[in-house]
Amino acid sequence: MTPDVKERIDQLVKSNKILVFMKGNKLMPQCGFSNNVVQILSTLGVPFETVDVLADPQIREGIKEYSEWPTIPQVYINGEFIGGSDIVFEMYQKGELQQQVEVALAS
């Protein structure tokens, strides 16, 4: 990952309380896992932003190195990497995601 790509990812992560790096966008997810994350966050009724990794190959590869996580989607809350679709779903089922989102939006 080039320093430029790392800086772009840093800016995206820091400037959005809830951010999803995904295939497609929240209006038109391009894979089932990305869609699952969008559905969960939509169910919570919280504002979130998305970055379409299909539109930017440098971000698509860079985000995997940035997070040290090999798959997409990737969810960040308050600048912290949370995980992918399975982790977000598990946190949602346990009520942990709602708590983390509330804390992030209140800060």
22-51 average pLDDT score: 96
User: Which class in CATH covers the domain with range 3-106?
Assistant: alpha beta
Give pLDDT, residue 107: 83
The model's pTM: 0.95
60-77 average pLDDT score: 96
Distances (CA, A) of 10 to 13, 19, 27, 67, 102: 5, 12, 24, 11, 22
Q: Taking all residues of the chain, what is their mean pLDDT, rounded to a whole number? A: 96
